[in-house]
Amino acid sequence: MAAAVIAAAVLTLVLPDDLRLGPRWALPVVEGLLLVVLITGDPGRISRRSAALRAISIALVGVLACGAIWSTFRLTDDLVHGGNETNSADALLQAGGSVWAITVLAFSLLYFELDSGGPAARAHDVPPTPALAFPQHLSPELNAPDWRPRYIDYFYLGFTNATAFSPTDVMPLAPWAKIVMAVQSVVSLLILGLVVARAVNVLA
């Protein structure tokens, strides 16, 4: 989870200025400070249940999600109305790829934080009806003893939902999970569809 936040911060740093929410340093600094506080409050595995740490985790994911959605809207606007990055296929693909990767990381962290009360709650108890049903939930005979979904499971969910535009092996059960996955699919479709179409047009 920490590596995903750091990767998103680095990708935000390399985004063009007009695709970034605020100054170049603002989002990475805020994300870094929240991550340091979170790790300091619960080093190692995230297993300490605390209202303050839960609020910090949600704030961190919220900052990442807001930055990703802002970058998506700005990129879409540049593609529709023309912008500095949209006149060069190389610059367009680099900017579009960075925005798409940031959205994947942001949504994977959103799933990680919201599913079944968050990682700390899941470390103590997995509810019989989770918001996101992994194959291990649907086929208990495949479970390892005391299996819990980890961040890599949510990253895979975010990646496959962004490429297939639909659930693959993880089924959304809760209404919020269906809404968030639908929003991610629309965002990813906008980025990939418009970027590829514009890049082909520029190269032609």
pLDDT per residue as tens, the chain (204 positions): 788 888 888 888 888 877 777 777 888 888 888 888 888 876 666 655 677 788 888 888 888 888 888 888 888 887 777 666 666 777 777 888 888 999 999 999 999 988 887 777 777 766 667 888 888 877 767 777 677 888 899 999 999 999 988 888 888 989 999 999 999 998 888 888 777 777 666 665
Sign of CA pseudo-dihedral 101, 102, 105, 107: negative
**Phi and psi, residue 167, nearest 5°:** -60, 145
